[in-house]
Amino acid sequence: MELLQNGVEYIFEIIKFYLAFRWLFGITEREGIWKYLLALLGIGGFALWLVYGNENHLPVYLIFIIAEMEILFRDKVLKIIFMSFWFSAVIGIFDEISKIVVWVFLDIVGDNSIWVRVLISAVTVFTEVIFGKIVLRINRNKIIRMSWKYFLCFFILAWGYSYIMGYMWVILGDRGMNTYLYLDIILTGMIMYGTMIMIIVLIISRDNYREKDAFNRRLLKMQEEQYNYLEKRERDIRKFRHDMKEHLLIIQKYCETEECSELKEYIKKINAQTHMEEKRITVHNKEVDVILNQYMSQAEELGILLKIKGQMPQDCNISSYDLCVIFANLLKNGIEAAKNSRQKHIELTVGYEDNVIMIHMKNDYAGKRKKKKESYLTTKSDMENHGMGLENIRECVEKYHGNLEMEEIGGEFITIINMKMI
């Protein structure tokens, strides 16, 4: 019976961490059902450890949690360790708040039986589900992209807060607990962790600003290259027009003397001089044109055939920044996938109808794409720094009440985007 009780209690404990890692941190789960079986075996082993007279010391508990999270999720070991340390303190405070709620609501103050502890854990899990759903919509995996140094700071803060909360229990317990003192503990915990949440939000906002700033700098550099090219092209055209009379006189001379081979060679030289040095494409949007031509050059250098057709509407209410994020990440991912494929082919089509912009891209790829539910996973080993391109695209698309669809058909990876012009 004791083994079953311990097992149930620590199943709830792992569920708390699972929800935090999955919804708050957005860490990618390992594939296969085997991970759940191993996690259950780990819980059973820990329950046996407790049944046979061993105490639940903090170091043993933390090792148990870290091992379980390593079984369920894949990321850098160091980051999982710091996140486990950090959230063990956070969950401890949530459990204390849930305990006060259960004790006061059920009028069972001081009851620490196993089933009361399970009920407290259930309240914490319910709170995590509600809070996690909200964070999942806002977070967009941005917390997991923070440096491990921040997690170390959060870990120190969380355990410092836990120490303060524990000290409050001792001090207030000596004075005799009542409803107002319980409220003091709850409010103190909420204020302390409210400050931590504000710090996390500020860090995410700062990282978003830096990311946008870096992207804008790259875009500005590409625009400068585009304008320099157009300026050079205009100068060449003016120079050619200036010498047009002389060119026509020479062509007339070759015609009169019927020197056809010389005439052909001379016309060939003129064509070479007036021909564009690079193939420039346009979809009638200046910012998007810069992105397209930049990646067209990259594709040519890698021997990839990139075909772009269609055009954007003249009046487009979608911000230039969001359009550039969408096209830059689409083409970057497409080129990355196609460069190792056999045919090395990418086709991008843009268009619009009524109030909807449509973007369709298909590219060849090598290997097998991994898919989880409705999302494709990155094929690169660095899960932390890659796989964010499609997530950034999805975020921009959903901002304009659009949808992003991806599928594999006959060795081609197809991406379809529809967005409303608000």
- Give DSSP secondary structure letters for 322-338: HHHHHHHHHHHHHHHHH
Q: Is 150 left (phi over 0), alpha (psi -120 to 50) or beta?
A: alpha
Q: 332 near 393, Cβ under 8 Å?
A: no
Q: Are 120 and 96 in contact (CB under 8 A)?
A: no
> Structure tokens of 412?
């081609």
Q: What is the pLDDT of residue 350?
A: 92
* Cα–Cα distance, 117 to 207 (Å, whole number): 39
Burial class (CB in 10 A: 0-12, 13-18, 19+), 122: middle
From CA 348, how far away is CA 417, in angstroms rounded? Answer: 11
Given a cut of 60, whether residue 387 has pLDDT beyond it is no
pLDDT of residue 187: 76
Contact 56, 50 (CB under 8 A): yes
Three-state DSSP at 109 gives coil
Q: Is the pLDDT of residue 107 over 60?
A: yes
Coil vs helix vs strand at 280: coil
Question: Over 80: is that where the pLDDT of 247 sits?
Answer: no
Mean pLDDT of the 370-395 span: 59
pTM over 0.75: no
Q: Given this model, what pLDDT does residue 320 score?
A: 82
Reported as a single tens digit per residue, the pLDDT across 265-324 is 877 777 766 654 445 788 888 888 888 888 888 888 888 999 999 988 877 788 888 888
Q: Whose structure tokens read 């009361």?
A: 116
Q: pLDDT band for 383, please (50, 70, 90 cuts).
A: very low
The band of 395, judged by pLDDT with boundaries at 50, 70 and 90, is: confident
Return the higher-pLDDT residue of 83 and 110. Answer: 83
Mean pLDDT of the chain: 77
* Beta-bridge partner residues of 345: 305
Q: pLDDT by residue (tens digit) across 12-67?
A: 888 888 888 877 777 778 888 888 889 888 888 888 777 776 665 778 888 888 99
Give the pLDDT of residue 379.
Answer: 52
| Weakest-pLDDT range from 82-91, 125-134, 247-256, 274-283 | 274-283
Average pLDDT over residues 342-369: 86
**pLDDT for residue 382:** 46
Give the pLDDT band (50/70/90) at residue 346.
very high
Cα(76)–Cα(64) distance, integer angstroms: 17
Q: Which residues contact 38 (CB under 8 A, 6 or more apart)?
A: 71
Taking alpha carbons only, the member of 202, 198, 192 closest to residue 92 is: 192
**242 compared with 250, residue with greater pLDDT:** 250
Residue type, 195: T
Three-state secondary-structure class, residue 361: strand
3-state DSSP call for residue 54?
coil
The tokens for 208 are: 């978003």
Residue ranges in 140-178 assigned as alpha helix (H): 148-174
Do residues 281 and 312 make contact, with C-beta atoms less than 8 angstroms apart?
A: no
Identity (one letter) of the amino acid at 372? Answer: K
The pLDDT value recorded for residue 273 is: 63
- Give how far the C-alpha of residue 173 lies from the chain's centroid of Cα atoms, to the nearest Å: 46
